[in-house]
Amino acid sequence: MSSKHPCIKDGWFNEVSDKSFPGQAFSLKVNKILFHEKTQFQDILIFESSNYGNVLVLDGIIQVSEKDEFAYQELISHVPLYSHENPKKILVIGGGDGGVLREVVKHSCVEEATLVEIDAKVIELSKKYLPNMACSFKHPKVNVKLCDGFQFLRDVAESGTKYDVIITDSSDPEGPAEAFFQKEYFELLYKALTENGVVIAQASENVWLNLEYLKTLLNTSRSVFPVAEYCYTMLPTYTSGQLGLIACCKNPNTNLIDPCRAPTEDEQSQMRYYNNKMHSAAFVLPTWARKVLNPL
C-alpha cells in the first residue's frame, strides 16, 4: 500500500479531469491517507478528509464521501423503486461500496437484491472504511456476484432471468466503465427487465458540465426504451454539486416522474434526502436544459 498519491499535493486532494469537466477542478483537504493501491481493475484511494469524513476515490475521481453519500444513494435507489408498484427482484450493477444495497433493502416488498461488482477489493475496503454504507452486505436478501456487469447482463439475456428494477451504479465513462454508456448496454438492460421493469443509470455528467453529452445519452436510451427521463441529485463532492441520472421504463404507461408508491412511516424515517416531493422535483429542469433534453 502506498502512502502517497499523485492527486494529493500539499495536503489537498485534487480531482481534475480534462475529459469529464475541462477547465475546472474540485479539492478536499486531506487529514491522512487510509489506503492506496492499484488493483487489476483500477486505482483505489481512500482518505480521511477534514470536513467530509472518509472519501473513496477510483481512478482519481471521487465516488462517495461519508458526509453527503446519502443524497446520491437514496435518489438513485428510491426513484426507480417507488416508480414500481411492487418491486421484488432487484439487480445492482456496480456500487461495491454497498450504499445502494443499503437503500434497496429498506423496502419490505423487496425479496432479493443481487449486487454485481467486478472489483472485490472495493467491497472489502468499504466494509472497513465505509461501514455505514457497507452495512447491508450481510442482509439475508443480498446476493453478491463478483464479475463484469456487462458480461453478467449478457448471461442474463441468455438465461431469460428478469428483474423488476435494475440500478446501474457505475463509475464515470472512462476505461472499463465506458461500455455502460453504449446502446448495447441499454438493450441488455431492456431484455433483463420484467414487463413493468424500471432501470436507472448514473449518467456521470450534469447540465452544467456537458449538456450535449447528456442529450446523446438520453437519445440513446430513448432509442431502446419507450420512456426515458433525465433527473438529478445534488451533493457537494461531485464536481459542480450536481449528478445526473437516466431513468427508463419498459412499460410506456409507467410514470417515472410521479411515484406510484409512497414511503411507509418506517421507510421515511430511515431516509435523509428522499421523499415523494423530492422524487418529482428531481425531474424538473431549468428552461435552457429542458429545451435541449426534452424539446417537445
Architecture per CATH, domain 69-293, reads as 3-Layer(aba) Sandwich (3.40)
Contact present, 22 and 39 (Cβ < 8 Å): no
What is 8-65's CATH superfamily? Spermidine synthase, tetramerisation domain (2.30.140.10)
DSSP 64-82: EETTTHHHHHHHHHHHHHT
pLDDT digits (tens, 9 = 90+) for 184-243: 999 999 999 999 999 999 987 899 988 998 999 999 999 999 999 999 999 999 988 999
Indicate the DSSP class of residue 211: H
Q: Nearest-5° angle of CA 162, CA 164, CA 169? A: 95
All cell numbers assigned to 191: 431484455
pLDDT digits (tens, 9 = 90+) for 28-45: 999 999 999 999 999 999
All cell numbers assigned to 83: 416508480
pLDDT digits (tens, 9 = 90+) for 117-148: 999 999 999 999 999 999 999 999 999 999 99
pLDDT the model gives residue 171 = 56
pLDDT the model gives residue 174 = 52
Q: Which of 169, 172, 258, 266 is catalytic?
A: 169
Maximum separation of any 2 CA atoms in the chain, in Å: 54
Domains of the chain by residue range: 8-65, 69-293
3-state secondary structure of 270: coil
User: Which residues are CB-neighbours of 296 under 8 A, at least 6 positions away?
Assistant: none
Query: Do 8-65 and 69-293 have matching folds?
Result: no
Contact present, 83 and 260 (Cβ < 8 Å): yes
Q: Is 169 a catalytic residue?
A: yes
